[in-house]
Structure 1
Amino acid sequence: MRIDDSSLRPEPVLEIRVRSRKGSLRCSSCGRKRRGYDRGGDVHRWRHQDFGCWRVELVALMPRVDCPRCGVVVARLPRAEPGSRFARDFEAECAWLTAVANRKTAGSFLHVAWRTAGDIARRVAERLKASTLSPFDGLTAISVDETGYRKGHTYVTVVVDHERRRVIRAYDGVGKEVFGLFCQ
C-alpha cells in the first residue's frame, strides 16, 4: 500500500472532534447549570496529550449559555480552563514535567515554548492552591517534636496534625522562637 496524501503531513496531528452533552452546560463565570443559548459559531482547538508520535488536538464548537446572572457567555468546558488553548490533562502533564525538570526541557519534550511551559505550570499551581484546603482548617490536635540529626548538631521542629496524620509545618532550629513562627 502506498500513501499519496495524508492530513498528517507535514506534522502528524490527530484531530478529535468532541461536543458537549445535552443538558450538561454550565456558565463559565458562576458555574451554575444553564440552558443553552446557541451552539456557538467558533470552532476552537485545545492541545491534548500526545498519542505516540502524533500530536492530539481536541476540536469543538464553543456553545454558549444564557445565564440570568452573567448574561450570554461561553459554556464551561470539562476538558479545558476558560481562555486556555490546552486541555486540562495536557496542563497537568506539563506541570508535572516542570516539577521534575526545567522549563526548557519540559517545553521541548511537549513541543511548546519554555515560557508556555512555565505559564502552564503557574496556572496549574494556582488552580491547585485555590482548591486545596488550608492545613489549619479543622485543626484540633497537634504535636510538636524537636528532633536532632547529624550527630545532634542540627535540629528541626516538626508540627504534626494528629487526626489527619500529616506534617503541617517543619522549621530549622529549636525553642520558643521557632515555635513562635508556627503561631504567627
Structure 2
Amino acid sequence: MRRLIYSFGVSLDGFVNDPGGGIDWSEPDDELHQFHNDRYREFEISLHGRRLYELMAEHWPYVPDSAGSIECEFAALWTEKPKVVFSRTLNEVHWNSTLVQKNAVEEVRALKNGGDGMMEIGGANLAASVMPYGLIDEYQLFVSPVVLGGGTPMFPPLNNRLHLRLAETKNFESVLMLRYVTG
C-alpha cells in the first residue's frame, strides 16, 4: 500500500497561508528548496487540491531557463510528475495531471491501494477532507518563525484526536522540519 504524506510550510501559529492567501513568508532558501526537490523525486504521484494546482500550474511550467538551477530543477520535476487534481469546478488540467471530480476519500483510498511507494497530498482543504478517515500516514511540517494571526490552518477541526509519533526533526537555516507518523 502506498504511503500518503501531507507536507506544508506552516507558520508558528499553524497557518499555511496568511489571511489574504499569501505564502510569500514561506519562500524557501536554496538549502530548503533543494531538500524539497530531492523529496519530491521520491513520490510516485502528487495529489493536489484545486487552489494549490492552480497556483503551481501558473508558475512552475513557465520558469525561465535563466532562473536558478534549483528552481529549474523543480519546474521540470513538477511538470513531469504524475498529478491527480481534485476539483468539482475545473473542467481540465494539464502538465501530466488527471482531474478527479468525484469523492476524494474513495479516490485516495484507491490510489493508496494501487501501489507500494509514496505519494504526497497538497492543499489544506484536500488534506482536511481525507484526514478524518485516517488516510494520511505522515505529516511533515516546515515551521517558519512567523506568526500570521490567521489564514488557512494546516489542521482542520477534528471530531477525534489525531495520535502521532515524532519520527524526525531537522533544522534548516530558515525553518524547523517536524516529521510525524501515525500509529
Which of the five TM-score ranges fits, normalised by the shorter chain?
under 0.3
Larger relative contact order (Cα-Cα within 8 Å, sequence gap ≥ 6): 2
- TM-score by length of structure 1 reads 0.23
- TM-score by length of structure 2 reads 0.23
Higher helix share: 2
Larger Rg: 1
